[in-house]
Amino acid sequence: MSFYRIISLIVAFQFASWATVSAQRSEIWREKPGTWLLNIGLGATRYVGDLNERSNLSHLQLGTAVNVAAAFRYSPQLTFRAEAQLYYIRGTQQNTHLAYNNLSFRSINPDIWAGFQWDFWRDDNRNHIIIPYALAGMGLTHITPKARYKGRSVSLAPLRTEGFAYNRLPIILRYGLGVPIAATERFKFHLEGAYSHVFSDYVDDVSTVYADQSSMEPTAAALSDRRPELGQPLNPVGAKRGNPNRRDGYFTLTARLIFIIITPSQRNYRRMFGR
């Protein structure tokens, strides 16, 4: 047998061994029912409420979000998921048809939610290489609207700018879509878009009408109606300040890195080989 033939056989054997081991590892880490996953995300946010215009795409007023989630695959298409997030949103009436009212806000809020993901097809469906999914769930957020005033950041909720206190821990309903972008044996990369519908109209501290300022302390009165900062007269008491018939919310577009913690096959492998 020639030297080159021996080398070719060795290379072929090594390649076959590598392919077999790789296939075994891929099967061990395949995301079957009973799999636990951990994922982290980083993305952009866009607030939707009384201080912006949904169709004004030239002034998106984007923010950021970072989140961490744990997930459990219950069936070939159903995954349960719980998540905690910290998100930054902002809004202003500048560059809108209500710019003369001069209201604005920004906030860094936490939220938590739990729900499910539903894959459109099973992962063994050979007709679909990329399998998108839908997600939905409920949770809570803590709203902390603030505004810049005289060079400092002022928390708006304690000031009762519309004359009364509101709930700062509202329920949220989240729903959206996601799509896998890339994957290795234990890591996956997804792109996910979701909308969080907040069961409150005070994410931006604006909802109903201009209140009587006579009983407000000076800072509250100044931030309740900011028209004088533009040289405009105050709005009359009872004038429309926001739209209470439409609750606030926020979009999130997130890039997610997903790590497979453990699968049923990997648990069996560890029991068999003591690893």
Q: What is the DSSP string of 41-58?
A: EEEEEEEESTTS-TT-TT
Class of domain 32-273: mainly beta
> How far is it, in rounded angstroms, from Cα 189 to Cα 256?
6
Beta-carbon contacts of 269 under 8 Å, excluding residues fewer than 6 positions away, are: 28, 275
> How far is it, in rounded angstroms, from Cα 270 to Cα 146?
52
pLDDT score at 30? 76
The residues spanned by each domain of the chain are: 1-30, 32-273
Chain centre distance of CA 167:
22
Nearest to 61 by CA among 52, 70, 69: 52
> How far is it, in rounded angstroms, from Cα 270 to Cα 275?
4
pLDDT score at 271? 56
pLDDT score at 20? 41
pLDDT score at 203? 97
Q: What is the mean pLDDT of each run of 10 residues along the chain (275 residues)?
A: 51 40 54 92 96 80 97 95 98 91 97 97 78 97 96 96 96 97 89 98 96 93 96 95 93 96 66 55
> How far is it, in rounded angstroms, from Cα 60 to Cα 147?
18
